[in-house]
Amino acid sequence: MDHQPFETWLVSEEPLTPEQQSSLQAHLQDCPRCQNLERTWNQVETLLGERPVVQPAIGFTLDPAIRDGEKLACYGSERDGLTMRRLEGNRFEVKLASPLPPGRFRLSCTIPAGNGRFRWFGAPFYVPAR
């Protein structure tokens, strides 16, 4: 049995069309796998919704072989107010100016690796709607 697009619809934040909603409900009547996914996803959202919203501070350490720490640059998806500081050696911390709003957020940091290439670090975040 093909579980797409039903699995995607179950975890999507986008509203479903009436046709999609009807198709999903009909599929859930006969699919234990998707019933389990729906139940589990609802539990995850409930647990996430019970947690307080915090201003994340992300820390990481560059490989000791990387000597150009001052060239490190970090960016947030659709968000201003990132501050980055070097703690000691090759240890860095990135802070956000305010708690993340509901939805998805990605932190991306890059540093030149030589020969026109870059090293990349990414961290995804998800904040459920309350």
Query: b/e for 45-67, b at 16 or more Cβ within 10 A?
Result: eeeeeeeeeeeeebeeebeeeee
pLDDT tens per residue across span 8-35? 999 988 899 999 999 999 999 999 999 9
Residue 37 backbone phi and psi in degrees, to 5 = -60, -45
The tokens describing 56, both together, are 């994340």
**What is the DSSP annotation of 74-111?**
EEETT---EEEEEEETTEEEEEESSPPPSEEEEEEEEE
Give residue limits of the domains in the chain: 6-50, 57-127
37-96 pLDDT, tens digit each: 999 999 988 887 777 766 777 888 988 888 788 899 998 876 567 888 899 888 999 988
Q: Residue 85's CB: how many other CB atoms inside 10 A? A: 9
Rounded to two decimals, what is the model's pTM?
Answer: 0.56
